[in-house]
Amino acid sequence: MQLRYCFRLYPSTGQRMALARAFGCARVVFNDALRARETTRGAGLPFISSGELSKQLTSAKKTRERAWLAEVSSVVLQQSLRDLDAAYKNFFDSLKGKRPRMGPPRFKSRKDTRQSVRFTANAGWKITPGGKIRLPKVGDISVKWSRTLPSAPSTVTVVKDSAGRYFASFVIETSPGPLPGTEAVIGIDLGLTHFAILSDGTKIDSPRFLRRAEKKLKKAQQDLSRKTKGSKNRDKARIKVARAHARTGDARREFHHQLSTKIIRENQAVAVEDLAVRGLARTRLAKSVHDAGWSAFITMLEYKAALYGRTFHRIGRFEPTSQTCSACGIKDGPKPLNVREWTCRSCGAVLDRDVNAAVNIAKAAGLAVSACGARVRPGLVPAQRGETGTRPKPQPVTTGRQTGISAF
């Protein structure tokens, strides 16, 4: 399995200028190649091959208008052409139904907040003995190594995000091996009040990173709106807004990674529900749905289960998990969202709505989960006529003023 490893880069001022030059040259080559293909398509001519585009690039370097393309590594420019080929391939595959629908390649802008260039082994880049990354025509860049790479990488992608941060991204083939086996299985019901409810009764609160950061984001956005368009101060304010959003996204991503790793380590099989996130994102709950990040979390569970030898199940979204009693299996009908606890009319069990749904998700995936984890309370059974019992003692009637609590 291929995994991506990202590490923070700290280029100097001169290295930032060299990377900006590489970003710009790669963007121009991409746009020139796209324009050439669109022109031939409009004229009804055959599709220009990658080899022909590479020849045109070599010829363009010898002209006065494009002579500055020789200031960066030629591998960066060739990889930009490969990116265009990949964009066309994805577009054509989407038309054939091989992947989700996506639009044709679009022209890149220098105002795009995310810029990237890729260096392959042909470029001669390497990791120095001092732990820096040596890039051709850029120099040795300091790296914050947060962990050890499982194998030697052959390709590195340098990315500049909207917050002005630089990252080195490596895609490496790895196979760490399965984790020790366990008998535990789990069903997960995702929500907004609680981010995840497990079939064993565990409820994990939703951190609500965006909601907690809204005050700071609002202040930063207001400062940005007051700056003159095109000014240096507006660019500085834009970076502050981008950094605030980046911190929120990083915190959410870290929470997803920690929780997904914990669940995969402790359970042999995991079952989740296939949620219609796009549909929910068009409702009044859109901000909370995006803040939760369910899709990213489910994706992490899926690839980590495949990586560590666990079993991952995704059940259909139309399973009546909230309507079925996990104790007796009787479908009790739909219930509004404000009903968080209900009593089964068949067996009398008192069920927590979310935990009951998590148990049903596990059962729908074929996992042997006991309904005891759903916090099921047996219904009240009337005493027999001849059975003795105790009567509750009468409680004195007190007013709100006497108990020290306001009566209003």
Residue 205 a catalytic site member: no
- Record the tokens describing residue 92, joined without a space: 């054509």
Query: Which one of 200, 273, 291, 302 is the catalytic residue?
Result: 273
| Cα(317)–Cα(274) distance, integer angstroms | 5
- From the list 236, 206, 207, the residue with the least C-alpha distance to 223 is 236
The C-alpha atoms of residue 152 and residue 386 are separated, in whole angstroms, by 80
User: Does the annotation mark 250 as catalytic?
Assistant: no
Nearest to 3 by CA among 245, 273, 308, 259: 308
How far, in Å, CA of 253 to CA of 401, rounded? Answer: 50
Euclidean distance between CA atoms 231 and 235, whole angstroms? 7
Select which of 32, 83, 189, 200 is catalytic. Answer: 189
Quick check: 63 and 57 in contact, CB under 8 A?
no
Q: Supply angle C-alpha 194, 197, 201, rounded to 5.
A: 125
| Alpha carbons 359 and 314: distance in angstroms, whole number | 14
DSSP 58-127: HHHHTSSTTGGGGGS-HHHHHHHHHHHHHHHHHHHHHHTTSS---PPP----TT-S-EEEEE-GGGT-EE
**Is the separation of the CB atoms in 317 and 272 below 8 Å?**
no
- Tell me if 268 sits within 8 A of 311, measured CB to CB: yes
Active site amino acids: 189, 273, 354
